[in-house]
Amino acid sequence: MKGDTGEVVDVERESGRAVLGRTLKFLREKAGKSLGQLAEETRYEKSYLSRLESGERLSKVTVMEDLDGYYGAGDLLVRHWRAARLDAFQDQYKRFMELEATARIMWLFTPVVPGLLQTEDFAREVLSGAQTTADGDEWVEEQVAARLGRQYLLRQEPQPDVRIILDETALRRPAAGYQTWLDQLVRLEEAAMEPNMTLQVLPFSAGVHHHMTGSLTLLWQPDASAVAYKEGNECSRLIEDPDQVLRDRLSYDRLRDLALPPSDSLKFIRAVLKEHRHHEAHP
């Protein structure tokens, strides 16, 4: 297959990020703009735009939305970005994310604040603890962009129907910064009120349960096919066998029976939010 400049491109081997970078460069050159002009007109740093074009950096989806608008490209860059963001993840997780992006129904249990509902600052704080190398800051920003990118699927049409059971543990492990944790709690409160989302809290009072060491996600596609995805103990597993998926659904149903109803869960989150604000006012 020939690319925009006439060279032969091996589409099967080229990464999504490289395709996005070439597309960015093509649109800029077609518009007759230098990197300097683009930086001035979009207010993004020239070095940042250059790294996007070279495929060295993954942007946030909002940057691609801005540039789609700037070039009048519809959602071309956003669509390429959806593929490019998968480069940041392992193969099995990529498959899960592809299924997640097309799912119409999503059920999730998690002992931590899920990536789908994390604020940018909270995600950055969580991920910063995982980096230990000299170039860790770059890795963190890459992972933050990729994680926040998953939240894009909550805005797509038709919106997926999402149910999240959140272990109380997630609400009792605050971020180090007061404002970061406050913003995260407010985000959870907002999510609990969104029409396509049901948020339930599994309180400590429910006792021990069979998913204390990891998370469970169930996804249903438009054709009613389903998969399960489990994470825990530093390993993950995508499950497509129908019998095992059914067992995991029954397992999730038992967790839901133990969780607080949605209205009580919202009250619970608001109580934690109130406690946090009170603690800051009266340390």
* pLDDT of res. 5: 38
Q: What would the two tokens of residue 112 be?
A: 């931590």
Question: What domain range is 35 assigned to?
Answer: 16-86
In a domain, 6, yes or no: no
Residue 64 to residues 20, 59, 74, 89: CA-CA distances in angstroms? 10, 7, 11, 20
Q: Among 110, 125, 130, which Cα is nearest to 232's?
A: 110
Q: Across the chain, which distance is largest between two alpha carbons, in Å?
A: 67
Considering the domain architecture, whether residues 261 and 206 belong to the same structural domain is answered as yes
pLDDT in tens, 207-257: 887 777 789 999 999 999 999 999 876 677 888 888 999 999 999 999 999
* pLDDT of res. 184: 95
Considering the domain architecture, whether residues 82 and 104 belong to the same structural domain is answered as no
Last residue of a domain, one of 57, 86, 115: 86
Considering the domain architecture, whether residues 119 and 81 belong to the same structural domain is answered as no
Considering the domain architecture, whether residues 72 and 100 belong to the same structural domain is answered as no
Q: Among 165, 183, 173, which Cα is nearest to 118's?
A: 183
Considering the domain architecture, whether residues 79 and 99 belong to the same structural domain is answered as no
Q: Which amino acid, 52?
A: L
In a domain, 136, yes or no: yes
In a domain, 138, yes or no: yes
Instruction: Please provide the average confidence, as pLDDT, over all residues in the chain.
Output: 85
Last residue of a domain, one of 86, 107, 137: 86
**How many structural domains comprise the chain?**
2
Whole-number percent of the chain with pLDDT over 90: 53
More confident residue, 250 or 156: 250
The answer, yes or no, to whether residue 135 has pLDDT greater than 60, is no
Q: Among 131, 126, 127, which Cα is nearest to 143's?
A: 127
Considering the domain architecture, whether residues 218 and 152 belong to the same structural domain is answered as yes
* pLDDT of res. 283: 59
Specify the range with the lowest mean pLDDT, choosing from 53-57, 87-91, 153-157, 185-189: 87-91
Please provide residue 136's backbone torsions phi and psi, each rounded to the nearest 5 degrees. -60, -35
Q: Among 33, 8, 4, which Cα is nearest to 21's?
A: 4
Q: Are 15 and 58 in contact (CB under 8 A)?
A: no
Torsion of the alpha carbons at 271, 275, 281 and 283, rounded to the nearest 10: 170
Please provide residue 192's backbone torsions phi and psi, each rounded to the nearest 5 degrees. -65, -15
> What confidence category does residue 2 fall into, taking pLDDT thresholds of 50, 70 and 90?
very low
Considering the domain architecture, whether residues 140 and 175 belong to the same structural domain is answered as yes
Tell me the CATH number at 114.
3.30.870
Considering the domain architecture, whether residues 144 and 75 belong to the same structural domain is answered as no
Considering the domain architecture, whether residues 221 and 127 belong to the same structural domain is answered as yes
Considering the domain architecture, whether residues 66 and 152 belong to the same structural domain is answered as no
Last residue of a domain, one of 86, 108, 129: 86
Considering the domain architecture, whether residues 59 and 126 belong to the same structural domain is answered as no
Please provide residue 238's backbone torsions phi and psi, each rounded to the nearest 5 degrees. -95, 125
Considering the domain architecture, whether residues 110 and 250 belong to the same structural domain is answered as yes
The answer, yes or no, to whether residue 87 has pLDDT greater than 50, is yes
Q: How far apart are CA 15 and CA 17, in angstroms?
A: 5
In a domain, 22, yes or no: yes
